[in-house]
Amino acid sequence: MQYTGVDPSAYAVRRWGRRRNIHLGSVDNLGVDGAFDLIVCCGVLNYLDAATLTRGLRQIAERLEGVAYLDMYTASDAVTGDTRGAKRRSAAWYRAAISRAGLTACGMHLYVDRAMSTRLATLERFPRRQPRRSKRG
């Protein structure tokens, strides 16, 4: 197993970079080449301005050959903790940005690229609209 980290902190890269394979970069300028079977971006995306987030989602989609864990919360989500500086965007805004980047949601903050989305199992795919509930239970 091989791990590649990206961190915007020059200190973190100096301190742990060589030992832990951490490279200097950011969400919208990863600083690494190649494709990855797992991308994890946690606790960052809601704090980015729209242009940076859009570029970052595209960068992630371009390098993704598996699944990405991208935690993002909308304005209608009940979020606790330190949210100072977080951008409160609508679900529609996030869905459009995710789609434009070429990503498809498959549940629990997980996303795949368009090529992989055709290989999702039926229960992993989200319907575009919810089916009507039957009155007969």
Which residue bears the tokens 């679900």? Answer: 91
Q: Is 26 helix (H, G, I), strand (E, B) or coil?
A: strand
* Strand order through the sheet with 36-41: 36-41, 64-70, 110-113, 103-107
pLDDT at 123: 83
Q: Which residue bears the tokens 């993002």?
A: 72
pLDDT, tens digit, 9 for 90 and up, residues 28-58: 898 899 999 999 999 999 999 999 999 999 9
Residue 46: what pLDDT?
95
| Mean pLDDT within 95-122 | 93
Report domain extents, the chain: 35-119
pTM: 0.84
Q: What is the mean pLDDT of residues 4-31?
A: 94
Return the higher-pLDDT residue of 106 and 82. 106
Nearest to 45 by CA among 74, 78, 6: 74
